[in-house]
Structure 1
Amino acid sequence: MVYTHIPLSEFYELDRKLKKKEKGKKRHKEGNKRNDKEKKKKGHKREIKNEKERNEKTGAQFFILPALKPRAGTS
């Protein structure tokens, strides 16, 4: 393991960013659980529609046209 010296303020900033990232992951996980429950209630057609919308939003690789467009927030 390699040790390095960094200013304390920099350490706190990195620590804060890491905690924020983990908190976001946890929130997404909880949201996904809730979405799965809602999907089961609404039925199969709705599930297919949601899947298509999600793929378009994320620019999934098998959707050629959306993948060529820049995604929102990446400019």
Structure 2
Amino acid sequence: MKRDRTHETQAEVIREDAEESLVFNDVTDHMNRIVGVPSRRADLSAMPAAVRWFFYFVMTFIAIGAALVLVSIVK
């Protein structure tokens, strides 16, 4: 685990997501801390039914669109 830089008077904080995400440099690490990035993927089964069905609809629409593009390129 990566330990944050702290002043000697501050308590030491251990970032749990540090092992999962590799940081390119200090600037991107700073930006990730300021803006914030999700520490884990969304659990679709924990979402409300309307959100799940919307997700399924969008993914189906994208898959059918990609298939139609491939068919039109092959013809």
TM range (shorter): 0.3 to 0.5
The higher-RCO structure (CA 8 Å, 6+ apart) is 2
TM-score (norm 2): 0.37
TM-score (norm 1): 0.37
| Higher CA-based Rg | 2
